[in-house]
Amino acid sequence: MMTRTIGVAVVEDDAHLRRSFERVITAAEGCRLVGVCATVAEAVRRIPSLAPDVILMDVNLPDGSGVDCVAELSGRLPDTQILMVTAYQDPDTAFRAITAGAHGYLVKPVTAQKLVEAIREIREGGVPMSRAVARKVIAAFRAMNERRDQQTQPGQEARPQAEDRPEAATTDSMLAPREQQVLEFLVEGYSYKEIAGQLGLSTGTVSTYVNRIYKKLHVSSRREVVAWSKGGGDPKQPSRP
């Protein structure tokens, strides 16, 4: 049985890289190029009608930020996975991209093999991320959790944090708007079918959102999601009586 090909759109302003991505995607088995854009405006105008399975997105575009483009497109294309492919490897940019709705983050230069592997991985529900960025993001998560735990100690006043710093962001803020909606219904005990009815989605789409939420919160069940949202601690630890 033939596996459905992965439709890929590219948003990249560097002409040389665009052509390189085009060649890689066109030559890759199981992938097809559905569109190429060089600016935020062009991407927002053209890509929704193309309905790609995966979007390769640069951060620094001539008319704006690729992160803002992600926020716009992720809301209009909930079934599309967005993979950042950028020279920026700082955790601030990675956090902002993930918060906006990106599902993976690769740092240039990227080999043709790595790019194709990442496209397939992200379409299968994975979260491809360059090793250097992953280490920084994990370190930032740990710092965020440590500060949150310190702030919730009895008798200890919470210290103000800069809201625009990823290390100070809550885990909920790491979710895209639609993922946050699905999370709220999960915590309230709604079934996938009921969530689909409430949000006008298919149950398959809801399942995709739930899988993304689990990956971002580092949990594996609804119980752990509820524990995290209400307790703020390690969801895998037993709840206190």
pLDDT tens by residue, 195-231? 888 888 887 788 788 888 777 776 666 666 666 665 5
- How large is the C-alpha radius of gyration of the chain? 19
Look up residue 158 and give its two tokens: 């919470």
State the Cα torsion 222-225-229-234 to the nearest 10°: 140
Look up residue 241 and give its two tokens: 């009586």
- Kindly state whether residues 59 and 121 are assigned to the same domain: yes
Place of tokens 């965020």: 144
- The domain tally of the chain equals 2
pLDDT on residue 173: 47
The strand pairing partners of 55, in sequence order, are 9, 82
Report the CATH number that the domain containing residue 99 is assigned in CATH.
Answer: 3.40.50.2300
pLDDT on residue 146: 67
Domain assignment of residue 67, given as a range: 7-132
In angstroms, rounded to a whole number, what is the distance separating the alpha carbons of residues 27 and 33? 10
Work out the pLDDT band at 163, boundaries 50, 70, 90.
very low
- Kindly state whether residues 123 and 192 are assigned to the same domain: no
- Kindly state whether residues 55 and 112 are assigned to the same domain: yes
pLDDT on residue 129: 81
Question: Which of 102, 132, 162 marks a domain boundary?
Answer: 132
Report the CATH number that the domain containing residue 184 is assigned in CATH.
Answer: 1.10.10.10
**How many CA atoms lie within 13 Å of 230's alpha carbon, on the beta-carbon side?**
13
